[in-house]
Amino acid sequence: MAEPADEADFDDAPGQGLRKIIHVDMDAFYASVEQRDDPALRGKPVAVGGDGPRGVLTTCSYEARKFGCRSAMPSVTAKRLCPQLIFVRPRFPVYTAVSHQIRDIFRDYTPLVEPLSLDEAYLDVTADVKGIGSATRIAELIRARIKAETGLTASAGVSYNKFIAKLASDQNKPDGICVVRPGEGAAFVAAMPVKRFHGIGPRGAERMKQLGIETGADLAAKDIYFLREHFGSQADYLYRAARGIDLRQVKADRARKSVGAERTFDHDISSGAALREQLERIVGLTWDRIERSRSEGRTVTLKLKLKDFTGLTRARSLPKPVRDRNQFAEIGHALLEELLPLPQPVRLMGLTLSQLIEDEPEAPALVRSASQLSLF
């Protein structure tokens, strides 16, 4: 298992021509922002999310994780594990603003930044645009600037591909760094539980366990024919991942496919008037996100989840992008009216704008330094 390493360990290592990838992951991002902004929350178990009977944790602080709380856990379960848990409502505009601040730091070191969410991103620092000379040093400088400029901590993984860099960023959390050098990737992956592989969820990990696959080494022992028989189209990815191979590039222009918002109600709603009122709130949330992301789109989709978890959707596409909030709300309400009256009460409602034409600023051209990174 790879340990944190200083940059000297990497400057003399073989492997010229390989890419240098950093994966940065903020530590308990939403909860850390809340603890930063409210000193009374510091050092205490904090959950970001609703505390109602149907509430779900968006994330929680490390103090709460010690009790077994985790993201996506029902709030009632989290409160049972940690009775002193403090719930805080999400403040997405604040998280988004901090995320943009962090991305600005990333872009000081490379134009090749691929955000995965508000709190994590891949960076390709193969071209040493600032002449720093070490990918490990770049990662440390970024982490130090994030802490100095936002008051938050980040963990980083440094390696020669995206798959291993992402695994590595989780290795020494919180506020840590892990570097996996060329030649160490296969051994690093072999010791890793497959449940930590990106794309393998709890159900997938359980299915693998039934087939005798619990670690990367177990997975690497299976040939491609076995993997295709049991995992179909995912087989090629699994075969390469088990060997520490990932050919994907960091894509700075990774397109957003949709912008939306949804809400799970504290109590099922059957009244048409109440549903219209809730829809208006969701229109406001969604349009706020659309404006912040500077997105334009042609398709509006309404999603409902009924009491028995049955899903209903209605969509409308326009020849031109939705022009403003009023038109967006008008389409959303028209879609709802098409579904009323409903056969059952509604537990969740969501609204999405898709077929986007984004107005994001262009990334600057990649400037190659005369001095390439020697290795890490």
Q: Active-site positions?
A: 120
CA 4-7-12 angle, to 5 degrees, is 120
- Nearest Cα to 220, choosing from 203, 208, 210, 232? 208
Segments of 120-249 assigned E as strands: 120-124, 154-159, 177-179
Largest separation between any pair of C-alpha atoms in the chain: 70
Q: Is residue 119 annotated as involved in ligand binding?
A: yes
Neighbouring C-beta atoms of residue 183, cutoff 10 Å: 12
The amino acid present at 57, given as its one-letter code, is L
Tokens of 54: 């149907």
Rounded distance, CA 314 to CA 170, Å?
A: 39
Question: What does DSSP assign to residue 244?
Answer: T
Q: Is residue 25 annotated as involved in ligand binding?
A: yes
Rounded distance, CA 219 to CA 242, Å?
A: 6
Contact 296, 318 (CB under 8 A): no
Helix (H) or strand (E) holding 267: strand 258-269
Contact 180, 19 (CB under 8 A): no
- Residue ranges of the binding site for Mg(2+): 25, 119
- Residue ranges of the binding site: 25, 119
